[in-house]
Structure 1
Amino acid sequence: MSDLKPLPHHLRRIARVFVDESMQDSPLARRVRDRLAATTHADIPWTVVPPDAERVAFSQGDAQALYLKEYKGRFLRFCPGTRAYHCCAYRIIHIGENCPMACSYCILQAYFQDRLLKIWANQDDLFSQLGEAFSADPAARFRVGTGEFTDSLALEHLTGYSRDLVAFLNDHDNVVLELKSKVVDLSWMDGAKRTDRVLPAWSLNAPFINEHEEFHVSTLAERLDAARTCAQAGFRVCLHFDPIIHYPGWREGYSQIIDMIFDYLTPNQIAYMSLGSFRCMPQLTPIIADNFPQATYIYNEFVPGLDGKARLLRPLRLEQFSFMVNRLRKHGMDKQLYFCMESSEVWQHVFGHTPKHLGGLANHLMSQAFGE
């Protein structure tokens, strides 16, 4: 363990570790303990949580805590989209909850209002459930990802979770795994035998948003450099503009990051790219205002959407979407582009077609993921 690097910046607020009694000798718990001990954070206290504990409480200023938990729910889930808009319909591999970074717009603030970074330590149960699901029908294909309720790579330095998952899925030809993140950790690459079954993915935004609304994350250049490293190794990558935010100077900002992408990647190295406008549940707005008082985009012109979320007025969304899609098309992007949670009317206005013309968004992205 002596060759391990010190904790990356986004993990340096971890001040305590909780572990379920049943998980304290699990391989993942031992790995986290060893990797923490190999850093300057060797004095972080561990607390064993008894099986009858109803909840774990942690409050220590700006500090965070890891919670290595025995999860007893379903590890493979459907994306919590709504039928009111077109959902990409990928499947979620649920490996944990919450995120060590701090992005003002993050919806996880409304879901998890604590400072516990939960990790499901009973990996044997996870792999058992996944193996059963992926092997039940050899003709079925799965496009899965771990970046829904947490960041896919944020805790990788300590857990090695993505590397374990990549290695496990080497034996499942019918599964493509997307690893979506705002940080750079490529240690999972050692576990991948097939470059066509893993899609490393990074979220991007305008430089102004990255600098003023995303904290404890890797820079845009670092993310794109990691994407180039993966592409040069034979992986196809995914990129996500979600949320696109309406702010003064947005045209210049999004032009800059779009042009920057193609300093690092070519269109054929990108499996797909999503675009989604900022939208939020009503209860998220006061949370953002309280946690990030500098965030002014929440006071833009919003209307209630069909899913109950506040959405930027359609003319403003169409203006941003059209601008970005036109610029991306000039760089050679086309069939890789799709909208996250938008209506057929928006698709038709911007793309000139709807998901129906692609055979359905889920089918289209499945083909893109498998390189067809």
Structure 2
Amino acid sequence: MNDTREPCLPAHLEPPQHILVDPEVIHSPITARVLSRLPGIPWSVCRNYQEKLQKHGPGARILYLKNYKGRFMRFCPGTSRYHCCGYRIIHIGENCPLNCSYCILQAYFQDRVLKVWANQQDLFRELEEHLADKNRLFRAGTGEFTDSLALEAITGYTGDLAAFLGQYPNICLELKSKIVDLGWMSRVSDPARVLPAWSVNTPEIIALQEKGSAGLQERMQAARECVRQGFRICLHFDPVIHYPGWQKGYALAVETIFDYVNARDIAYMSLGSFRFMPELEKILMHNHPGADYIYNEFITGLDGKKRLLLPLRLKQFRFLARKLKNAGMGTNMYFCMESEHVWQDVLGYTPRDLGGLDNHLLRLSFQADQFSALKA
């Protein structure tokens, strides 16, 4: 008998039209959980992913539970030309149900299929190998190729991961998102080693360019609740976008943030200007014709990506940094993929002054007493 119940999902998540399941993960706990939380959604075993995708059409909402055979733990795809934060990616899936106009995943991936690596035990085995040396510290997160929490309501992946990592004191897990889901919190054994994180932007950018995401106040209400539960948080002003009235918008964003949390509650905060691979430009124009910020003045940077002209970037960064410093932020502010010149001009220090950006953020991730104890 077919199950005809409608799944109860959060507002940002439309139910998929079909679920494809690799035969190798048909009995995995993730598969069982997803199918139980999406009653009434048709599903089938998938031996030929591309063939199935063609059958459903390019615009179909497909969820693919895959037996992933690649590396789960990898380095952030930074570049030697600009300062990278040294973040380690825990790869749990690809694509995102949100519809942010500037999303680089549009250029990374050829389709919009939501992919979840359902062979979670293989992920855990690989993490065990990386984390075996308890004297080696890791700062890692899941928010690079997908939103860390956007599918949590149906997969429970983050809760599983947080519970597993609870036995390893040498890793700090960052959960970067644009939505609100705190269901994973009950499975965290040590709040000091999990960093809930949100991308933040102006109310206008969130409303017009981050379709499906939570509002800024909603994100900060969730951040405040995390602080109440003993967590520190991370925030990311990335991408900072140049548009008419941006000064008023970013001033309001900073004011809103500190209406809900204090600077001491923030482990670190990044600033990053809108930048994009050249191939994203046409995709963005086609998919989001109203995103007129793409017509700003850009140059090609040393890494081949288009970047806002330096004087315009510096003006925005100086404005934001001044507001944030007045709110109590200090050397826990950093730039994502910017030059030493920008660091010195805006913040008055460089990664070299901090002992290297990756080491600095590692120290901030682990509170001072934890860091000293683990390094002893």
**Band of TM-score, shorter chain:** over 0.9
- Is 1:267–2:263 an aligned residue pair? yes
1:113 deviates by 2.9
Query: Which residue number in structure 2 is paired with residue 24 of structure 1?
Result: 26
Structure-to-structure mapping, 1:141-180, within 5 angstroms: 141-180=137-176
Output the amino acid matched with 1:170.
G
Query: Which residue number in structure 2 is paired with residue 289 of structure 1?
Result: 285
Query: If the length of structure 2 is used for normalisation, what is the TM-score?
Result: 0.94
Structure-to-structure mapping, 1:101-250, within 5 angstroms: 101-135=98-132, 137-250=133-246
Output the amino acid matched with 1:158.
I
Query: Which residue number in structure 1 is paired with residue 36 of structure 2?
Result: 34
- Which one of 4, 15, 18 corresponds to residue 17 of structure 2? 15
Query: Which residue number in structure 2 is paired with residue 331 of structure 1?
Result: 327
**Deviation sequence 1:211-246 (CA, Å, 0-9, x none):** 111111111111110000000100000000110000
1:138 deviates by 2.1
CA–CA distance in structure 2, aligned partners of residues 259 and 306 of structure 1: 34
Return 5+ residue gaps in structure 1 as ranges: none
Query: Which residue number in structure 1 is paired with residue 372 of structure 2?
Result: none
- Is 1:84–2:81 an aligned residue pair? yes
Output the amino acid matched with 2:16.
I
1:115 deviates by 2.4
- Is 1:254–2:254 an aligned residue pair? no
Change (3 A) 1:305 1:317: same
Return 5+ residue gaps in structure 2 as ranges: 1-5, 369-376
Output the amino acid matched with 2:340.
S
1:5 deviates by 8.2
Change (3 A) 1:128 1:358: same
Measured on the aligned residues, the alpha-carbon RMSD in Å equals 1.4
- Which one of 340, 347, 354 corresponds to residue 350 of structure 2? 354
Change (3 A) 1:66 1:355: same
**Deviation sequence 1:146-173 (CA, Å, 0-9, x none):** 0000000000000000000000000000
**Deviation sequence 1:252-296 (CA, Å, 0-9, x none):** 000000010011001111000000000000000100000000010
CA contact (8 A) 2:163 2:187 kept: yes
CA–CA distance in structure 1, aligned partners of residues 184 and 264 of structure 2: 23
CA contact (8 A) 1:181 1:202 kept: yes
CA–CA distance in structure 1, aligned partners of residues 49 and 84 of structure 2: 37
- Is 1:300–2:302 an aligned residue pair? no
Query: Which residue number in structure 1 is paired with residue 371 of structure 2?
Result: none
CA contact (8 A) 2:100 2:211 kept: yes
Change (3 A) 1:370 1:179: same
CA contact (8 A) 1:68 1:121 kept: yes
**Deviation sequence 1:12-35 (CA, Å, 0-9, x none):** 152110000111111100000111
